[in-house]
Chain A
């Protein structure tokens, strides 16, 4: 499936690798829900590192929606909460 790391572009990931990503994603979600700043940063970084490791870059001229979208590296916990809040944050 195709995933996106915001600010970096899209990656193609084998379905077999998605479980691992989901585990790391659950840790990230928990950190956001509990407003746990200390856990959030490392959780996001671990998720992105794993995604980069298991993914291969999608050609730059491909135009396809992603099944999963990961926040950018270095995003704050508030930024991610805004993304999830479906507020006016997403422009365009």
Chain B
């Protein structure tokens, strides 16, 4: 007996065992319908859980992407400052973070696949449950012991099989979601502690990171200082123009009072 037949036999045996538990076949139908509704709810929750988990991975992928961009920037800043050692360190970390990103991307795809399958399973089960409800009432209304028992057995076994299949699909999706959650949590913690980059080796990373940060901060402070110096060197005139740009335009084109002071030495010389 092949795999296909054996699995089918096991599914049937399981359904029969449940059938035997209840005396009245009609009771079986009602009981089964309750179980189906519960399972439907569970599937819907499962779909929602997977979607939530997928969105979280999406957010995390964005974060990790930003980290790679940051490291890239730091590498450039380090190079510009003549610190090739720091640039090298930043790039090697970037490579490590990049591999985390690739890993997340493949997990994201698998979670997306799981979500699609579960959504499809959910609508299949919904259709079956709707059909079951109708059939259940018909069988109950035309209930004449022997004949109905056969039909009940058939429909019960059929729906049990569907439920076992869907049940396994949910279980798998739940396992995957749990794994993803655990993984996402671990990466969040690692990112927060900086240990993710520690794991990539190299000299004491905290010092390097701090130095990179200081350099990053230093650079922006330098840049801001430069901007301020430039502003001060330009005197108060640019500030006035910037502050009243709407009114300043006509006054600039006219030989107005503010420009008169500057023009005087120039025109006097020529």
Partner-B contacts on A (CB < 8 A) = 3-4, 6-7, 9, 21-22, 25-26, 28-29, 32, 47, 60-72, 80, 83-84, 86, 89-92
Contacts and interface: CB of A to CB of B under 8 A. Distances in A.
Contact of B167 (A61, A72, A92): A92
B123 to A, nearest CB: 8
Contact of B3 (A29, A72, A91, A92): A29
Contacts of A62: 131, 158
A90 B169 CA distance: 10
Interface stretch (B4-12, B45-53, B71-79, B250-258): B4-12
Interface in B1-29: 2-8, 10-15
Interface string B213-252: 0000000000000000000000000000000000000000
B222 to A, nearest CB: 55
Given A6-B165, A7-B165, A60-B124, A68 B130 contact: no
B75 to A, nearest CB: 40
B262 to A, nearest CB: 78
B163 A61 contact: no
B230 to A, nearest CB: 62
Interface residues of B, number: 41
B168 interface: yes
B184 interface: no
Given A9-B124, A63-B155, A92-B160, 5 more contacts: A29-B2, A61-B127, A63-B159, A91-B164, A92-B167
A1 to B, nearest CB: 10
B7 to A, nearest CB: 4
B158 A63 contact: yes
Given A61-B130, A62-B131, A63-B131, A3 B4 contact: yes
B11 A69 contact: yes
Nearest to A82: B168
Nearest to A60: B127
B135 interface: yes
Contacts of B131: 61-63
B2 A4 contact: no
A90 B132 contact: no
14 contacts: A26-B2, A28-B3, A29-B2, A47-B4, A63-B132, A63-B155, A65-B8, A84-B3, A84-B6, A90-B14, A91-B168, A92-B35, A92-B160, A92-B163
Contacts of B84: none
**Residue from B3, B11, B121, B132 having most chain A Cβ neighbours under 10 A:** B3
Contacts of B188: none
Nearest to B12: A65
Nearest to B39: A92
A4 B168 CA distance: 14
A2 to B, nearest CB: 9
Q: Which 6 A-B pairs have the closest CB atoms?
A: A25-B2, A91-B167, A68-B4, A61-B131, A63-B158, A69-B7
Contacts of A22: 2, 4
A63 B7 CA distance: 18
B168 A66 contact: no
B8 A69 contact: yes
A7 B167 contact: no
A71 B158 contact: no
A47 B131 CA distance: 30
Given A64-B154, A90-B14, A25 B4 contact: yes
